[in-house]
Amino acid sequence: MTLPARLEPLALARDATRLALAVTGACAGLVLVGLFGQFSNRWLVVGLLDIGHALMLAIALRAGMVAARGQSWAGAVPRALLCGALAGVLVVLLVMAARVANLRWMLVSLTPVTLNRVGYMLPEQQAMLLLAAGGAAAALLGTALVLLPPKARRLLMGALLGVVLAGLLRELIRSLLSGLGEIDGWAFSYDGLLPAGAMAAAGIGALAAARPGARHFAALPSRARLALQLLCLALLLLLPAVTNDFVAQVMMLVCLYTLMGLGLNVELGLAGLVDLGFVAFFAVGAYTVALLTAETAGVAHLGFFAALPFSVLFAALAGFLFGLPVLRVRGDYLAIATLGLGEVIRVLVLSDMLKPLLGGAQGIVDIPKPALFGVILGSPTRLFYLTAAFAALAGYCAWRLQHSGIGRRWLAVREDEDVAQALGINLVQVKLMAYTIGAAFAGLAGGLFAAMAGSVFPQSFQLLVSVNVLAVLVVGGIGSLPGVVVGAAALIGAPEVLRDLGEHRYLIYGLVIIAIVRFKPEGLSPAAIRQREVA
CB 320, min distance to other proteins, A? 13
CB 500, min distance to other proteins, A? 42
Calpha distance 211→435 (Å, rounded): 44
Tell me whether residue 478 or residue 491 sits nearer to other proteins (CB atom).
478
Tell me whether residue 151 or residue 400 sits nearer to other proteins (CB atom).
400
Taking residues 492 to 531 in sequence order and writing x for each that binds other proteins by CB under 8 A, - otherwise, the string is -------------------------------------xx-
| Closest CA relative to residue 481, chosen from 263, 225, 315, 233 | 263
Is 317 a binding residue for other proteins by CB under 8 A? The answer is no
How far apart, in Å, are the Cα atoms of 100 and each of 29, 104, 112, 485?
19, 11, 11, 53
Tell me whether residue 76 or residue 527 sits nearer to other proteins (CB atom).
527
* Interface stretch with other proteins, choices 30-38, 149-157, 223-231, 409-417 (CB under 8 A): 409-417
What are the backbone angles phi and psi of residue 49, rounded to the nearest 5°?
-145, 125
DSSP 89-102: HHHHHHHHHHHHH-
Tell me whether residue 183 or residue 528 sits nearer to other proteins (CB atom).
528
- Selected binder of other proteins within 248, 409, 450, 471 (CB under 8 A): 409
DSSP 118-139: HTTT--HHHHHHHHHHHHHHHH
- Selected binder of other proteins within 416, 499, 506, 531 (CB under 8 A): 416
- Selected binder of other proteins within 419, 467, 511, 515 (CB under 8 A): 419
Angle at alpha carbon of residue 185, lines to 212 and 502, rounded to 5°: 85
Number of residues that make up the chain = 535
Tell me whether residue 366 or residue 416 sits nearer to other proteins (CB atom).
416
Is 412 a binding residue for other proteins by CB under 8 A? The answer is yes
| Closest CA relative to residue 64, chosen from 126, 174, 189, 148 | 148
- Selected binder of other proteins within 21, 208, 425, 517 (CB under 8 A): 425
What are the backbone angles phi and psi of residue 59, rounded to the nearest 5°?
-65, -45
CB 274, min distance to other proteins, A? 17
CB 119, min distance to other proteins, A? 56
Strand extents, DSSP E, 417-466: none
Calpha distance 501→508 (Å, rounded): 9
Calpha distance 148→133 (Å, rounded): 21
In the chain, the amino acid numbered 320 is F
Secondary structure class of 309 (helix, strand, coil):
helix
Tell me whether residue 351 or residue 426 sits nearer to other proteins (CB atom).
426
Taking residues 432 to 451 in sequence order and writing x for each that binds other proteins by CB under 8 A, - otherwise, the string is -x------------------
CB 415, min distance to other proteins, A? 4
Which residues in the 389-408 window bind other proteins by CB under 8 A?
Answer: 397, 400-401, 404-406, 408
Tell me whether residue 263 or residue 363 sits nearer to other proteins (CB atom).
263
Is 427 a binding residue for other proteins by CB under 8 A? The answer is yes
Calpha distance 442→326 (Å, rounded): 18
| Cross-strand pairs, 193 | 188
CB 426, min distance to other proteins, A? 5
DSSP state of 44: E
Secondary structure class of 372 (helix, strand, coil):
strand
How far apart, in Å, are the Cα atoms of 495 and each of 115, 337, 415, 475, 503?
29, 31, 34, 14, 10
The residues, ordered by sequence, that sit 6+ positions from 138 with a Cβ below 8 Å of its Cβ are 57, 58, 60, 61, 64, 84
Tell me whether residue 330 or residue 400 sits nearer to other proteins (CB atom).
400
Tell me whether residue 301 or residue 403 sits nearer to other proteins (CB atom).
403
* Interface stretch with other proteins, choices 1-9, 258-266, 426-434, 453-461 (CB under 8 A): 426-434
Q: How many residues bind other proteins (CB under 8 A)?
A: 27
Tell me whether residue 153 or residue 530 sits nearer to other proteins (CB atom).
530
CB 419, min distance to other proteins, A? 5
Residues that bind other proteins (CB under 8 A): 397, 400-401, 404-406, 408-409, 411-412, 415-416, 418-427, 433, 529-530, 532-533
